[in-house]
Chains A and B, each alone.
Chain A
Amino acid sequence: MGKLFSSPKLLVIAIAAIAVLLVSVAGGALGASFGLGFLGGPIPFISVPAEQVVSISGYPLLNSTIMFWVGGLALLFVAWRAGRKPKEVPSGWQNLLEVIYEFFSNTVDGVAGGTPKAGRRFLLLVSTIFLVVMIINWVGILPGVGSVGKIETIEQWVHHHAEELEAEVHEAHPDYSAEQVEALVLVHLLEEHGDDTFVVFDGAIVPLGRGEQARVPLNKIVSFTKDDLHTIEEAAEHDALADGEAHEILEAIHHDVEEGVVKSSFIYNEGEDGAKTYDFTGQTAGLLIPYLRGASTDINTTLAIAIVAMFTIQIWGFRALGVRGYGGKFVVNPFTKGPIATFIGLLEGFGEITRTISFTFRLFGNMFAGEILLIAMAFLLPLIGIIPFMGLELFVGVIQAYIFAMLTLVFGVMAVAIHGDHDSHSEDH
């Protein structure tokens, strides 16, 4: 302590660190219970499927796809830097890649039997999976990923959700006109999602300090009652939407949807005695659609890598043992080898499918949970709470990539191993 006070530089740093800690505790969820919480924002909308950024002539470009490309480009850049001027004694990037290559070269040989070059055929895929998974895990936690995006307004949201419902309604009532279908779809949508909450935007950003729950339910943005919906539904069924009461209500709902702003009736209140009151009247509400999203937090990415891995493992098996040899692991003649062996063969085949699913969910679950963990920490303890978990995410990213690669290797070695349990036993006896 004496040293700390003797050096003014250290003292300033220590005071600054304590100040940041205090500010973040007061500004976060803890401070919010005492009427502070000036750094708390609304919890963002957590979407399990990846979101569409743009549609390129019908092809939906997802935000996770873009991030996969970013990861690929980053990997390409590293490879380019490493291979630009190869040197006898490696240094820098070249050294890094050579360390990784050497590590995997030794690992595949070790797992595949211990002799040099025993695992050559596994090396390419295993090290590729490791590098790709690691890099997409890492670029997924860069700042800006998941927090910068466009606002989906209520109108777009309704349009987006109505598409699926429209086909459904049209199928149930094929004789309805487009107007009737549209009205019914709107009724269904409001009925089902009336309590869904939307984030309040101030212009183009989400302002801090409104508490982590500052979200507005849909029925405060589009004002309607249960009776209103009932009236529309009835009118739609009798094709009486052109005028009358139902027409007026429908017009009002359409107007609200188009406007997409919070109605005057909603005041967000935090604390028992109303210590913090926010009036969101007239502000735009919607959902944030991030431009970028970590590729491994999309289940399609992890499934694709898992399918590539399992498909290649089957090819290795067939190439090493032949169609009869490798296929004989799964399809066993019940008359010559007995029904139990047939059943075990079937289970083995089923195991290949469950391995694919397990691959998929292990990576997806870990990375998606990590993303939610980071979001939660950013709201519990703003500014600094996220830092140790960023480190954890870097670690988890490598570990999961390593596990994915190692399991591919282990399954591959199992596939090319001669299935000799029963045969060798019968030879022994």
Chain B
Amino acid sequence: MDAETLKPLAAGLAIGLGAIGPGLGIGLLAGKAMEALGRNPEARGPVQQNMILGLAFAEAIAIYALVIAIIILFV
């Protein structure tokens, strides 16, 4: 197998493996936020705001993997 044939495989692996961690993280984060909302519905505003901020942090890791996949495929 030469480098050209391995490229799609490598890109797929990069984003696939790279999405596992952020996926778990986003799930945990949203779950905990729901829990917090259930316990304290008045804190909806701050909980939501901080959750979105945390989601963006977790999502950024997946985006890094995506950038790597894109670079493997197109550069």
Q: Is A366 an interface residue (CB 8 A)?
A: yes
Minimum CB–CB distance from B16 to chain A (whole Å) comes to 15
Question: In the complex the two chains form, what is the Cα distance from A114 to B24 in whole Å?
Answer: 33
- What B residues does A48 contact at CB under 8 A? 70-71, 74-75
Closest residue on chain A to residue B67 by CB atoms: A365
Contact indicator A362/B63 (Cβ below 8 Å):
yes
- What A residues does B60 contact at CB under 8 A? 358, 361-362, 365
Q: Is B29 an interface residue (CB 8 A)?
A: no
Question: In the complex the two chains form, what is the Cα distance from A364 to B64 in whole Å?
Answer: 10
Identify the stretch in A217-225, A280-288, A399-407 within 8 Å (CB) of chain B at 4 or more residues: A399-407
In the complex, which residues 152-207 of chain A have their Cβ closer than 8 Å to any Cβ of chain B? Answer: 195
Question: In the complex the two chains form, what is the Cα distance from A47 to B75 in whole Å?
Answer: 8
Contact indicator B70/A361 (Cβ below 8 Å):
no
Question: In the complex the two chains form, what is the Cα distance from A366 to B71 in whole Å?
Answer: 14
Encoded as 1 (CB less than 8 Å from any B CB) or 0, chain A from 364 to 403 comes to 1110110010000000000000000000000000011011
Q: Is B36 an interface residue (CB 8 A)?
A: no
Contact indicator A366/B63 (Cβ below 8 Å):
yes
Question: In the complex the two chains form, what is the Cα distance from A6 to B67 in whole Å?
Answer: 52
The listed residue with most A CB atoms (<10 A of its CB), out of B4, B56, B66, B71, is B56
Minimum CB–CB distance from A293 to chain B (whole Å) comes to 15
Number of interface residues of A (CB under 8 A): 18
- What B residues does A368 contact at CB under 8 A? 67, 70
Contact indicator B63/A399 (Cβ below 8 Å):
no
Q: Is A46 an interface residue (CB 8 A)?
A: yes
Chain B interface mostly = helix
When A and B form their complex, what is the total count of cross-chain residue pairs whose Cβ atoms lie within 8 Å? 38
Contact indicator B74/A361 (Cβ below 8 Å):
no
Encoded as 1 (CB less than 8 Å from any A CB) or 0, chain B from 34 to 75 comes to 000000000000000000110010011001101100110011
Contact indicator A365/B52 (Cβ below 8 Å):
no
Contact indicator A406/B67 (Cβ below 8 Å):
no
In the complex, which residues 9-48 of chain B have their Cβ closer than 8 Å to any Cβ of chain A? Answer: none
- What A residues does B66 contact at CB under 8 A? 365, 369
Contact indicator B64/A399 (Cβ below 8 Å):
no
Minimum CB–CB distance from B57 to chain A (whole Å) comes to 8
Closest residue on chain A to residue B64 by CB atoms: A361
Other-chain contact of A361, B4, B52, B63 (Cβ < 8 Å): B63
Contact indicator A399/B52 (Cβ below 8 Å):
yes
Question: In the complex the two chains form, what is the Cα distance from A100 to B34 in whole Å?
Answer: 28
- What B residues does A369 contact at CB under 8 A? 63, 66, 70
- What B residues does A399 contact at CB under 8 A? 52, 56
Question: In the complex the two chains form, what is the Cα distance from A60 to B64 in whole Å?
Answer: 28
- What A residues does B63 contact at CB under 8 A? 361-362, 365-366, 369
Minimum CB–CB distance from B69 to chain A (whole Å) comes to 10
Chain B positions within 8 Å of A, measured between CB atoms, are 4, 52-53, 56, 59-60, 63-64, 66-67, 70-71, 74-75
- Show 18 A/B contacts (Cβ-Cβ < 8 Å), sorted by A: A46-B70, A46-B74, A48-B70, A48-B71, A195-B4, A361-B67, A362-B56, A362-B63, A365-B67, A366-B63, A368-B67, A369-B66, A399-B56, A400-B56, A402-B52, A403-B52, A403-B53, A406-B53
Chain A to chain B: the 3 pairs with minimum beta-carbon distance, closest first: A365-B63, A362-B60, A403-B56
Known: A365-B64, A368-B67, A399-B52. 5 other contacts (CB 8 A): A361-B60, A362-B56, A364-B67, A368-B70, A369-B70
